Amino acid sequence: MKLFLIAGEPSGDRLGAALMRALKGLRPDVSFFGVGGPAMTAEGLTSLFPMDELSVMGIAEVLPKYMALKRRIRECADAVIAMEPQALITIDSPDFNLRVARLVKEARPKQRTIHYVAPSVWAWRPKRAEKMARSIDHVLALLPFEPPYMTAVGMTCDFVGHPVVSEAKASDNEAWAFRQNVENAPLILALPGSRRGEVSRLTPILGEVMARVRERFPQAGVLLPTVPGVADLVRDLTAGWPIAPQIIQDPAGKRIAFRAADVAIAASGTVSLELAANRLPMVVAYDMNPLSMWMMRKMALIDTVTLVNLVSDTRAVPEFLGRECRADRIAPAVLDLLDNEVRAEAQRRAMEITMTRLGEGGDPPAERAARSVLQALT
């Protein structure tokens, strides 16, 4: 059994690797080809080219790389057409992956295509679902309210659960032991993102937030998990912070930080679900290229971008986006969560609802996804 998988970002690489492991458990004869990162490579994928060439976000950010991305789209499609796998499985990155699927379907209409992570048609660009249905047969959805959007336009779709419910978490004892090494003062988790563009925009703003927090809590500490690709940039940008952050790169340290902190300031995205899994109250702050932000706002169908708010059907997590992403707006919200246990507890209740709805306590999402893939191919 041959499967061709394409992931375009680290989160997709992790999703793909977990799916591959689960598929190997159900179908030992399976082999994998396509594009992926280190996690998928470790599971046996030979990548056509480095996955990080595809890790681009935002309209203005994509434009300079358009021609290179277009060549990679064609290269992927040609490889699928030549290989004739049992399925093309595209993982997230819809702007790239759905173009590959379209070219493949045009050349081989009977080629089975599966997309893992339903595009956010409920958030913006709703007509994408109709367009997607021309080239995708089956969808694996991470959010429980997504299948109706997919089936309404002719695709089959299974809610398989969100991978965050299966991710390892630090224990209370590990968090307690960590806090013995810090003074009895608030610990703030700073999460400025994993892409160089968003880190460059958010880190200086978070530094200003820390200056305001320090006025209220002089002994406050800051934990800043990051990834190797931006670690040097983070060190440079935080060198002048009024509270020197503890920069964390190893996964175990990150898990402990998520468990030990008192409050988080996070860039928008799935990190809000990682925080929810640890029941850590948060403030969401995000800014991007003004053109990209204007386009996003113009097409938005929802009044919140935070998944905890959406899945729990609350608005418990405060957001500061675009022009509102300013220290004088963000800092009071952070201080409110540190001072106001009622507000923090309201977030924890929303997080509890969110994690239950995403599949916490059930079968691992990767196993559900693997079963859904095989069922779709019968």
Q: What is the pLDDT of residue 53?
A: 78
Mean pLDDT in the chain?
91
What is the rounded average pLDDT of the residues 190-208? 92
Same domain, 188 and 303: yes
Q: What is the pLDDT of residue 197?
A: 85
Same domain, 42 and 125: yes
Same domain, 181 and 312: yes
CA angle 326, 328, 332 (to 5 degrees): 115
Give the predicted TM-score (pTM) of the model. Answer: 0.85
Q: What is the pLDDT of residue 292?
A: 60
Give residue 293's pLDDT band: very low, low, confident or very high (50, 70, 90): low
| Residue 267 within any structural domain of the chain | yes
Same domain, 245 and 187: yes
Convert the pLDDT of each residue in 170-183 to its tens digit. Answer: 999 999 999 887 76
Same domain, 218 and 105: no
| Residue 209 within any structural domain of the chain | yes
What is the rounded average pLDDT of the residues 134-144? 97
Domain that holds residue 39: 2-161+362-376
Give residue 59's pLDDT band: very low, low, confident or very high (50, 70, 90): very low
**Residue 60 pLDDT > 50, yes or no?**
no
Percentage, residues of the chain above pLDDT 70? 92
Convert the pLDDT of each residue in 220-279 to its tens digit. Answer: 999 999 988 899 999 999 999 999 999 999 999 999 999 999 999 998 778 999 999 999
Convert the pLDDT of each residue in 6-42 to its tens digit. Answer: 999 888 999 999 999 999 999 999 999 999 999 999 9
Cβ contact 32:13 at 8 Å = no
What is the rounded average pLDDT of the residues 103-125? 89
Same domain, 220 and 276: yes
What count of Cα atoms within 13 Å lies in the side-chain half-sphere of residue 327?
A: 14
- Reported in sequence order, the residue ranges of the chain that DSSP labels E, i.e. its strands, are 2-7, 31-35, 46-47, 87-91, 113-116, 138-141, 156-159, 187-191, 221-225, 246-248, 263-266, 282-286, 319-321
Domain containing residue 106: CATH number: 3.40.50.2000
Q: How many domains does the chain have?
A: 2
Same domain, 183 and 202: yes
Same domain, 108 and 247: no
Same domain, 183 and 225: yes
What is the residue-wise DSSP string for 103-150?
A: HHHHH-TT--EEEES---TTTB-TTHHHHHTTT-SEEEESSTT-HHHH
Q: What is the pLDDT of residue 55?
A: 63
| Residue 104 within any structural domain of the chain | yes
Same domain, 291 and 371: no
Same domain, 151 and 180: no
Give residue 364's pLDDT band: very low, low, confident or very high (50, 70, 90): very high
Same domain, 190 and 104: no
CA angle 117, 69, 289 (to 5 degrees): 75
**Residue 56 pLDDT > 60, yes or no?**
no
| Residue 166 within any structural domain of the chain | no
Ranking 34-43, 65-74, 186-195, 205-214 by mean pLDDT, the lowest is 65-74
